[in-house]
Amino acid sequence: MDFSLNFIKQFVDIKNSAQDLAERLTSAGLEVENVEKVSDDWVFSAEVTTNRYDWLSIVGIAQEVAAVLGKKIKLDYPRIKTTPKPTKKKILIDNLDDCSYYLGREIKKVKVKQSPAWLKKILINSKLTSVNNIVDVTNYCMLKWGNPLHAFDLDKIKGDIHIRRAKDKEEFIGIDQKQRTLTSENLVIADSKKVIALAGIMGAKNSEVTANSKNIFLEAAKFSPITIRCSRRAIGLDTESSYRFERRVSESFLEYASGEATDKILKLAEAEFTGYRKVGKKTESKPKQITIKLSKMKNYLGADFKTGEVKKILTSLNFKVKKDLPDTIKVKPALSRFDIEKEVDVYEEFARIYGYNKIEPKIPFIEKALKTNPVLEKEENSWKFKNKIRDFAALLGFAEIITYSMENKDELSLFTEEEGLGLRNPLRSQENSLRPTLFLGMIKSIKHNLNRGKENLAFFEIADKYKKKGGNKVDENTFLSLGVSGDRQRFFLLKGAVLEILDYLNINYLINQTKLMSANNALEIKVKDRTIGFIGKLDEKLKEKFGLKEDLFLSELNLNLLGKFKQDKKFESFSKFPVIWRDISLAIDKNTKFKKIQKIIEEGSRHLLNLKIIDTYQDKNLSKDHFGFTLRLFYQSREKTLNSNQVDSYHNQIREKLYNKEGIILR
């Protein structure tokens, strides 16, 4: 809302500087975002909260200015003329829910011309343009009372006036010259032939007041805020008028706005008032009386003040205050203040003028229960667990990413058969569905970085996945996703990271080969027969489809299940005796999994601590479908130092077990 200080000064005596007034209004809740000097005037730009439709009028702002300065407002209400007789034109309202009240006035023999300087100046300093004396008066009255008015060229209205929904594909050309196609979302004012205004938003070109207009029809109405909101959104057109109707307009000021506009037009356009008609009815009830207990109010605000102060402040807001019992007052809000319904509303009115900044800040003592409520405990543990996993993943060298919870349905279908949860009103088709997998976000983040010359990336994300459950229920669960890019060997870094996490949580797991829709070559991790996650290599065709420059290895772990299966750790004693190693060289054919060798070596072996691959090779002595490597086996006893001969004998036993096994060549 932009307003001119000089306009306000017509109603309140102001001595303060514009900056001082701006600060006072801001502290009282009318946030002044800018003050700008324009000739001998100041233009204020203020943000009006949705509950204060009364601040979309100069009268309302003047009332507020009076309150913050502790002054009285000077306001003359115009005389309302409802004679002469009703106009010949009938006014028909299809639905009173769209338009509950409609006033029409006919003014004849108008002389359309330029507005006088004083009027032009007020409009310009309120960031409106001057058109002609008729249009300018309607805008002046809208500014003053908050009720938008519209003047039609009476001679261009054929037949009766009809307030109805637009027909589908009905055309409308506004006074802005733009053509728009309407739907039944739009409320219109029509005559017997055509649409003459988009109700509450803009008049039509076909009936606008021009220099040649002789007779006019002046509209003042109360349109439904929702109807206007839907209508202007459907065609994407915001105007000063729609802005006000959307937040509601005052019924009591409707007559004043229309009445004052008529008076001014009669004067400035030397015209004659010839007819009045109203349709519909007033729906507003008068503000109710509210009983305030002062002790309660003090306890609510945490401040101490005198009853006199409360009375003074509320009275300055044009509220009626009556003292009742010693601790009680009865308050009747100002006529235009329908937002004041309860005690707390009155508390706020007092507090904002009294000054929020006068209330002393104190820290509450929050009682701690000896036993936390199970609901709170469960929630907080889940939060702590996520933090723990997040810290650990970062410790493992992974960078946390945050990706959108919505993705494109078709892209998601490449990863899972799970039906995604579609959005009714997506912003863009790229994000039209809630994701049942975190892989897509991971792939896109990796891609973003690979395309910028980065390589060997390691990312993780902790986020929710969503899926449909039953007919109309939703399953939302938190997962950890990990992604590692680079050459094939990088897969084992990912696998290692996943195992580190499982060890960290002290979880016993089983790993099996499996296939995923997006990863033909994958491992499944199971705990107590429940699948808790996967690790896999993104399939070549998807790598190509998404244009990834490196291989990508992905993992997803169910955090709820990890949390469920995690176990507390206990100290485990370890051997103090030396570790001795022996190497073994092997070759395996391509159909033999490493897991098989490991199983043979580990089963029944004595004092074997662990093993690792120290070298891999593919030399000319090996056939092409064989692959060679050297294993280093570590031996250790918990009771004694092993001597060389003992270790040789354990090692030979393992060699013998491997000898002559299918697919394994001992070298």
Partner 1 sequence: MAQEIRKIKESFEKDLEKGKSKDFFQELKVKYLGRKSKISELFSNIPNLPKQERGRWGKELNILKNQISSAIEERLSEKIQKEERLDLTYPAKRPQKGSIHILSSVTKEICLIFKELGFNVIEGNEVEDEWHNFSALNIPLDHPSRDAFDTFYLDLAKKDKKSGNWLLRSHTSPSQIRIMQQVDPPLAVISPGRVYRPDVVDATHSFMFYQIEGFVVGQDINFSYLKGTLLYFARQFFSQEVQLRFRPHFFPFTEPSAEVDVSCVICSKKNKQKNQDRCPVCKGKGWLEILGCGMIHPDVLEACNIDSKKYQGFAFGMGVDRIVMQKYQINDIRLFYENDINFLKQFSI
The interface with partner 1 within residues 316-345 (CB under 8 A) comprises 342, 344-345
From 78, 81, 108, 79, select the one nearest 277 (Cα to Cα): 81
CB 462, CB 480: distance < 8 Å: yes
Decide whether 273 or 347 has the Cβ nearer to partner 1.
347
Residue 71 CB, nearest approach to partner 1 (Å): 19
State CA 200 to chain mean position distance. 28
Cα(235)–Cα(216) distance, rounded to whole angstroms? 27
Beta-carbon count within 10 A of 505 CB: 19
Cα(517)–Cα(357) distance, rounded to whole angstroms? 60
Question: Does 394 contact partner 1 by CB under 8 A?
Answer: yes
Site map for partner 1, 344-383, x if CB under 8 A?
xx-xx--xx---xx-xxxxxx-xxx---xx-xx--xx-xx
Give the binding-site size for partner 1 (rule: CB under 8 A): 91
Residues 404-463 that bind partner 1 (CB under 8 A): 404-406, 421-427, 431, 434, 445, 448-449, 452, 454, 457-460, 462-463
The residue type of 594 is F
Question: Does 27 contact partner 1 by CB under 8 A?
Answer: yes
Residue 399 CB, nearest approach to partner 1 (Å): 4
Cα(255)–Cα(7) distance, rounded to whole angstroms? 21
Contacting partner 1 (CB under 8 A), which of 159, 397, 547, 604? 397
Decide whether 115 or 445 has the Cβ nearer to partner 1.
445
Cα(105)–Cα(262) distance, rounded to whole angstroms? 8
Question: Does 49 contact partner 1 by CB under 8 A?
Answer: yes
Residue 415 CB, nearest approach to partner 1 (Å): 19
Residues 213-242 that bind partner 1 (CB under 8 A): 225-226, 229, 233
Q: Indicate the SS3 state at residue 532.
A: strand
Contacting partner 1 (CB under 8 A), which of 168, 400, 583, 656? 400
Residue 293 CB, nearest approach to partner 1 (Å): 11
Provide the terminal-to-terminal Cα distance of the chain, rounded to the nearest Å: 88
Cα(28)–Cα(14) distance, rounded to whole angstroms? 17
| The token pair that represents 442 in the structure block | 């991971």
Question: Does 288 contact partner 1 by CB under 8 A?
Answer: no
Question: Does 399 contact partner 1 by CB under 8 A?
Answer: yes
CB 259, CB 78: distance < 8 Å: yes
Contacting partner 1 (CB under 8 A), which of 10, 50, 291, 653? 50
Decide whether 29 or 275 has the Cβ nearer to partner 1.
29
Question: Does 123 contact partner 1 by CB under 8 A?
Answer: no
Contacting partner 1 (CB under 8 A), which of 80, 325, 402, 613? 402
Beta-carbon count within 10 A of 260 CB: 22
Site map for partner 1, 484-503, x if CB under 8 A?
--------------------
Strand partners of residue 320:
332
- Distant-in-sequence, close-in-space partners of 468: CB < 8 Å, separation ≥ 6: 419, 421, 474, 475
DSSP-assigned letter for residue 581 = E
Decide whether 122 or 389 has the Cβ nearer to partner 1.
389
CA distances (Å), origin 530, targets 403, 436, 438, 479: 27, 19, 20, 15
Tell me the window of 212-220, 299-307, 326-334, 566-574 that interacts with partner 1 (CB under 8 A): 299-307
- Distant-in-sequence, close-in-space partners of 650: CB < 8 Å, separation ≥ 6: 605, 606, 607, 608, 635
Residues 72-101 that bind partner 1 (CB under 8 A): none
Contacting partner 1 (CB under 8 A), which of 70, 84, 302, 604? 302
Residue 559 CB, nearest approach to partner 1 (Å): 12
Beta strands 31-38 and 187-190, pairing class: unpaired
Residue with tokens 């300018």: 136
Decide whether 251 or 339 has the Cβ nearer to partner 1.
339
Question: Does 70 contact partner 1 by CB under 8 A?
Answer: no
Decide whether 209 or 450 has the Cβ nearer to partner 1.
450
Decide whether 317 or 601 has the Cβ nearer to partner 1.
317
Decide whether 211 or 375 has the Cβ nearer to partner 1.
375
Question: Does 401 contact partner 1 by CB under 8 A?
Answer: yes
Residue 99 CB, nearest approach to partner 1 (Å): 16
Cα(220)–Cα(180) distance, rounded to whole angstroms? 24
Q: What angle do CA 216, 219, 221 make, to 5 degrees?
A: 175
Contacting partner 1 (CB under 8 A), which of 9, 18, 26, 521? 26
Residue 235 CB, nearest approach to partner 1 (Å): 14
Question: Does 618 contact partner 1 by CB under 8 A?
Answer: no
Compute and round to an integer the Cα radius of gyration of the chain.
39
Decide whether 123 or 458 has the Cβ nearer to partner 1.
458
| The token pair that represents 59 in the structure block | 């009268």
Beta-carbon count within 10 A of 577 CB: 14
Decide whether 424 or 488 has the Cβ nearer to partner 1.
424
Instruction: Report cis status (omega within 30 of 0) of the bond before 84.
Output: yes
Residue with tokens 């993943």: 393
Decide whether 147 or 227 has the Cβ nearer to partner 1.
227
Cα(352)–Cα(317) distance, rounded to whole angstroms? 11
Residue 366 CB, nearest approach to partner 1 (Å): 3
Strand partners of residue 171:
181
Question: Does 309 contact partner 1 by CB under 8 A?
Answer: no
Tell me the window of 124-132, 137-145, 387-395, 625-633 that interacts with partner 1 (CB under 8 A): 387-395
Contacting partner 1 (CB under 8 A), which of 67, 393, 498, 597? 393
Residue 219 CB, nearest approach to partner 1 (Å): 24
Decide whether 169 or 362 has the Cβ nearer to partner 1.
362
- Distant-in-sequence, close-in-space partners of 297: CB < 8 Å, separation ≥ 6: 310, 343, 346, 347, 350
CB 71, CB 13: distance < 8 Å: yes
Contacting partner 1 (CB under 8 A), which of 171, 238, 272, 391? 391
What H or E segment, with its residue span, contains residue 381? helix 374-395
Residues 461-480 that bind partner 1 (CB under 8 A): 462-464, 466, 468, 471-474, 476
Question: Does 300 contact partner 1 by CB under 8 A?
Answer: yes
Residues 247-286 that bind partner 1 (CB under 8 A): none
Contacting partner 1 (CB under 8 A), which of 390, 549, 606, 632? 390
Residue 108 CB, nearest approach to partner 1 (Å): 40
| The token pair that represents 152 in the structure block | 């039609």
Residue 457 CB, nearest approach to partner 1 (Å): 7
CB 393, CB 482: distance < 8 Å: yes
